[in-house]
Structure 1
Amino acid sequence: MILVTGGTGLVGAAVVKELASRGKPVAVMSRDAAGIEKRFPDLGIEAREGDVTEPGSLKEAFAGIEAVVNSVQFPNSPIENKRKGWTFEQVDYQGTVNQVAAAKQAGVARFVYVSGVGAAQDAAKHWFVSKWKAEEAVRTSGITFVIVQPTWVYGPEDVALNRFMGFAKRLPFVPTFGNGQQMMQPIFIDDLAKIIADALEKPEANDQTFEAGGPERLSMDDVVRTALEVSGKKRPILHQPAALGKLMATLLQVLPGPPLTPDSIDFITNEAVADNAALERVFSPKLTPLREALATYMS
């Protein structure tokens, strides 16, 4: 039995569907077991309730599990909410530590962690450090592991790119923060799901870390323009200074659930590119170009 934690989110749900299509027995862990059944009504998925920030809830959820895919993200990621404990440190790092402990206790044989490209001990941004610490918890666990570090993941259910398209429907322009020249290497969700599913089966991937990006490197503006073209919309891109975004986000912190934080402005204006050499060597993935992938759900 394979357990996908965070299995109702963007990446996790795609992995669940890919594994189910391969005939694999899959369990999904979420804080809301009823929500799992609604998310996958016809796939025969086993629902297990658990919260990665509550170690005591994980023992039963991990019982009888042979392999784990950890794709947990906190709600509204990357916008942290410290009041609710929705932070990279609490969920990405400590939540992974808690899962590793539960996996060891349950005798799990394989642990696949979905991290993020840029994770590093000396990274300038705390979210990259938290993800690196989570990776280290996996690497030193004694469990056979695979770490996948995707770039920007997009698909029918992603929030970021679809938000731009939402702006295009409601406004005569598409607003963005920054100059739009940061380089991106977006990876289609279906491609990433196949890579993660393969990571559960390939012994040559054992105890390795793989960056995973799409087949093209494009500026952020080019990504948005391509999406606009595929969806048949003509809109200019309106660039707003990142500093203005941070000021707006700072003022919004008085709200109980702020829609932006200053750190989230940095997150969304970061470059996200990958070195796919190791990925190509071990997985030989078929990576879908942006325009071709977008046409499957936007045109």
Structure 2
Amino acid sequence: MSSSIRQPSDMLVTVFGGSGFVGRHVVRALARRGYRIRVAVRRPDLAFHLQPLGNVGQIHAVQANLRNRPSVVRAIAGADIVVNLVGIMHQGGRQRFDAVHGFGARAVAEAASAAGVERLVHMSALGVSADSGSAYARSKANAEAAVRDAFPGAVILRPSVMFGPEDQFFNRFAQLATFMPVLPLVGAETRMQPVFVGDVAAAVVKAIEGAATPGATYELGGPETLTVREAVKFTLDAIRRRRPVVGLPFSLARLQGLVLEIAHTLSLGLLPDSLRLTRDQVELLRHDNVVSDAAIAERRTLADLGVAASGFDAIVPTYLWRFRQKGQFEPPPQVGSGAHGAEV
């Protein structure tokens, strides 16, 4: 064996946004492979929970803000690989889509290129488009273009809606069902392809280790495609609650989004996350969020990275039980007693 072959323990990976929902799984996956990990976050003191995921000294948090180029350069200095997972779903204060997604992605890519980083993996989202009616989707598309311009060999990953213990999808519906007698649903017939966050983390590792084609964009979806209405019905079955589900027309949904945006502002940000909805999110829900035929034909999917997609039906109930009336001790429904799913 050649002595020039580098082991993971010889390589330093800087992960921007490593303390978030996706980041925690990515850091865990990298730690298991033996990489040294530098987690770049705005508040390093809030990233201490990551250290037990690896060996002593293997994971280290540093301060970095994508809106501050010098901090980005410092976080990348000496790194062999860079992963950018930073993204926001809502705008607020100085955290704007163009600042975080556009300016931030370019800052990371340019700093990585200048530092001679071997590989850059950038996390985007399925369905982004430069001509989208959604500011979020446009900013994500602009971010991809900025990354391509500064680091042509970067691998871009576009996951569909992600699920996992801390997700904002199945957990959101389950939380709403605990206190709302009726579930108003935006984009009830919009199709999605939920992907397990652990599989997305595995895809990041695969891209780092050379399984991805440099400069390619991969679309990551799970094995099942379902509508939002079907996802809500599944959630209600999992938590054993009955709730009527009312599909909202998009015109009414936009009005609801406006009202909730105002409520969020007037409450000084204290509105529960489960109740947050913006007009921009309503626009996103107009379009299906599934892997494209082009990505399948061109072998740019999760399977083409060597990751077997996990089904949501086997995983989601393992963390939704806390929303049942009696928690994990809720007895299963008796045969012939009727389903607990949504009443449409």
Deviation at 1:273, TM superposition (A): 0.7
Q: Deviations over 1:91-110 (max 9, x none)?
A: 11111011112212322111
What residue number does 1:173 align with? Answer: 182
Instruction: Give the structure 2 partner of residue 126 of structure 1.
Output: 135
Contact residue 133 and residue 283 of structure 2 kept, 8 A: no
Distance 1:47 1:36 in 2: 7
Given that 1:111 and 1:143 are in contact with CA atoms closer than 8 Å, whether structure 2 keeps it comes out as no
Tell me the equivalent position of 1:140. 149
Once the 2 structures are TM-superposed, how far is the Cα of residue 152 of structure 1 from its aligned partner?
Answer: 0.7
Alignment match of 2:40 (pick from 21, 29, 32): 29
Partner deviation per Cα, 1:119-161 (whole Å, 9 max, x = no partner):
2333343322221221122222245311111111111111232
With structure 2 as the length reference, what TM-score do the two structures score? 0.79
Which of residues 168, 171, 192 is equivalent to 1:184? 192
Q: How many residues align?
A: 293
Shift of 1:261: 2.6
Conserved 8 A contact 1:167-1:175: no
Of residues 139-148 and 20-29 in structure 1, the stretch that sits farther from structure 2 once superposed is 139-148
Aligned match for 2:112, one of 103, 113, 117? 103
Do 2:219 and 2:302's aligned partners in 1 also have CA atoms closer than 8 Å? no
3-state DSSP of counterpart to 1:144: coil
Q: Deviation per CA, 1:262-298: give whole Å up to 9, x if none.
A: 2122234542111352225631321112211213323
Q: Counterpart of 2:320 in 1: which secondary structure?
A: coil
> Corresponding residue for 2:284?
267
Counterpart amino acid of 2:68?
E
- 195-204 or 148-157: bigger deviation: 195-204
- In structure 2, C-alpha distance between the alignment counterparts of 1:281 and 1:169, rounded to whole Å: 36
Is the Cα contact below 8 Å between 1:211 and 1:274 reproduced in 2? yes
Could you say which residue in structure 1 is the equivalent of 2:9? none
The answer on whether the counterparts of 1:152 and 1:187 sit within 8 Å (CA) in structure 2 is: yes
Shift of 1:260: 3.4
Give the counterpart letter for 2:226 in structure 1: L
Match of 1:65 among 79, 86, 101: 79
Question: In structure 1, how many angstroms separate the alpha carbons of the residues matched to 2:53 and 2:84?
Answer: 23
Q: Distance in 1 between the 2:212 and 2:163 partners?
A: 27
Structure 1 unaligned residues grouped into runs of 5+ = none
Contact 2:135–2:280 at 8 Å: present in 1 too? Answer: no
Point out the structure with max Rg over C-alpha.
2
Cα RMSD for the two superposed structures: 2.1
Report percent identity of matched pairs: 30
Tell me if the contact between 2:44 and 2:63 (Cα under 8 Å) persists in the aligned partners: yes
The answer as to 2:257 corresponding to 1:249 is yes
User: What secondary structure, in the 3-state scheme, does the structure 1 residue paired with 2:174 have?
Assistant: helix
Q: Specify the SS of the correspondent of 1:128.
A: helix
Q: Distance in 2 between matches of 1:123 and 1:206?
A: 26
Scaled by the length of structure 1, what TM-score is found? 0.90
Question: How far does residue 52 in structure 1 lie from its aligned partner after superposition?
Answer: 0.3
Aligned partner of 1:120: which letter? S
